[in-house]
Amino acid sequence: MAVIRHSFTARPIPADLLARWRQVPPAIAGDCLNRDHCMTGRIAPLAPGMAITGPARTVTPMAGDNAAIHVAIALIEPGDVLVIGGGGDINIALIGGIIMECAKGRGIGGVVIDAAVRDVAELRALGVPVFAAGATPRGPHKGFGGEIDAPVACGDVVVTPGDLILADDDGVAVVPAARMVDLIDACEAKLADEAAAIEKIRAGTTTVELQGLEIPAPI
């Protein structure tokens, strides 16, 4: 088995900052990141209402093999979010009930995987949020290896260990670690602006007026 583990020293997110980020939906973060850093729509929650806010740990498994995922789960800290590349391949499930039982016991904050899962009913019952590209009963091999704690492509976004993962029913957004502090104020301001806009709409303002658009004359 050739699992490559890169050096990574986690920098804990201050509790007050993490609490503020928990109030920010991925859509708001994506807007404040210039509509960028949002994973493709194929990455979706296994059940409505699942949500994630936490720092990323990353895995790039070899095709059809989940050995590196087993190793990564043994290394995670409580609250970590495991982000797993997989190139969108939904022909082989890379996680299932057994591995997620272990992950739950380790205190995992959630899983985002650009590949398939299985034992979906079990995963939903565990209560650990899982966002995946699909599901299949076909299981993986173990022993070919992979890479841990290196930048990974997941849902067409590059995720670096320590980046902040935000996920809800809309999907997944990634806040670069270097932007976590300076971006939160902009996200909170955006939330306030949207709340004010909704109040104006309820009072009769149209979205055309809010957006500064024009209704063209008929031709």
- Structural domain span for residue 23: 3-177
Residue 51: predicted pLDDT: 98
57 assigned to some structural domain: yes
Per-chain mean pLDDT for the chain: 96
Alpha helices (runs of H) in the chain, residue ranges in sequence order: 15-21, 26-32, 67-75, 97-105, 120-126, 180-202, 207-210
In the chain, the number of structural domains is 1
Query: In this structure, what CATH number is given to the domain that contains residue 10?
Result: 3.50.30.40
CB atoms within 10 A of CB 27: 17
198 assigned to some structural domain: no
Mean per-residue pLDDT, 35-40: 96
209 assigned to some structural domain: no
Residue 125 — φ and ψ, nearest 5°? Answer: -70, -25
Residue 6: predicted pLDDT: 92
Residue 144: predicted pLDDT: 81
Q: Is the pLDDT of residue 145 over 90?
A: no
11 assigned to some structural domain: yes
Mean per-residue pLDDT, 136-143: 91
Q: Is the pLDDT of residue 1 over 90?
A: no
**pTM of the entire structure?**
0.95
197 assigned to some structural domain: no
185 assigned to some structural domain: no
101 assigned to some structural domain: yes
